[in-house]
Amino acid sequence: METKLLIMRFEQLYGAGGFSVFSAPGRINLIGEHTDYNGGYVLPCALSFGTTLIIRPNASDRIRLATTNFDFRANIALSDLNGKIGTEWVNYPLGVVDQFIKRGFRMQGFDMLFSGDIPNGAGLSSSASIEIVTAVALDDLLETHLDRIEIIKIGRSAENEFVGMNCGIMDQFAIGMGKKNSALFLNCRSLEYENISMDIGNHSIVIANTNKRRELADSKYNERVMECGIALDNLRKGKPMIDLSDISLEEFLSNQYLIPDDTIRRRARHVISENERVMNAVNAIKQGDIDSLGLYMNQSHQSLKVDYEVTGLELDTIVNLAQTVQGVVGARMTGAGFGGCSVNIVNNGAIDHFIEYVGSNYKEKTGLNADFYVASLGDSAGKIS
């Protein structure tokens, strides 16, 4: 929704004047899936669309929340902030409020109106976008003067502790630190990062939304986190390790016998091989080798399908179709999986055919209508006015 219309809606709900406007992008992950909570490497980009928040102190002890995306609203006294409200969207900003309180900051009441143009449940980090825009706004209005890394950590802690999703830090980091026309090469354990110019010549990033909605908190995401923990415990019998990313693929292949369960072994193999693919993909981008980037993306999807088992009919169908189109150099699922989106590197001259061919055949095979977006890479979260 346009900011002017959103302001009108805010004033209808809460009255005129005294508000501030903040925004945060969504994110797309080029490669590096399910590595972040294993201390590994990722390569996400901030998108040019995301979440807008209009917010104002309300001289009370109540947090009032509304959005243009859903009917559900909340009006909660700070003293009643004891846990999440079912599976409602308000848990994401409330989790951030909870984190500020836990850090000892004096909280006050606020009126908040959110509006997002990230497709919900599509794997483009609508939840992290809400968390980070809330954290940036509260930092500004409460004058807490937090550095951006701390704001990012607040977003992740809100999702881990309040919402109950054991996510890594990639989504919040990309949204909090992304740069226009760049990808973010991030070590999720050390938080060392590098902005990589996304100069991919006569190619574009095209997002394909399967419109198969996935609910992370109700998915097998937390199960995968647990399985990686089991794999880590097994591998520690042969080498001291903090997380799965402490072992190279070559070392893993020599020590995989330490993991007796085949399923657990495959989970570890995905994480460790995916780390290597991310590093190879970064080198390919820097060298302008787009074909190799596409190859690593294709390999990533296959690993997510076979070893990590987080793809499913819709994602596999849309990726398999994409990979057959001339002019597509690489395609893979992006996000946690179980539905959501694929990310595709497509020659600019093939984009129209890609959308028509993949869209029509996907509809025929799944009964669902896919949506397509030619991605524009944007900046991180901040204050608009």
Kindly list the catalytic residues.
171
Longest CA span, the chain: 66
- Beta strand pairing status for 74-77 and 203-209? unpaired
Whether residue 133 contacts residue 155, with contact meaning beta carbons closer than 8 Å, is answered with no
How far apart are alpha carbons 116 and 68 in whole angstroms? 8
Whether residue 61 contacts residue 78, with contact meaning beta carbons closer than 8 Å, is answered with yes
Other CB atoms within 10 Å distance of the CB of residue 371: 15
Q: How far is CA 345 from CA 74, 83, 118, 171, 342, in A?
A: 41, 42, 20, 21, 10
How far apart are alpha carbons 23 and 114 in whole angstroms? 9
Residue reference for tokens 């890594």: 168
Other CB atoms within 10 Å distance of the CB of residue 379: 16
Q: Rounded to the nearest 10 degrees, how much is the dihedral formed by the CA atoms of 289, 204, 213, 155?
A: 80
Angle at 108 between CA 105 and CA 112, to 5 degrees: 115
Query: Around 59, how many Cα atoms within 13 Å sit in the side-chain half-sphere?
Result: 3
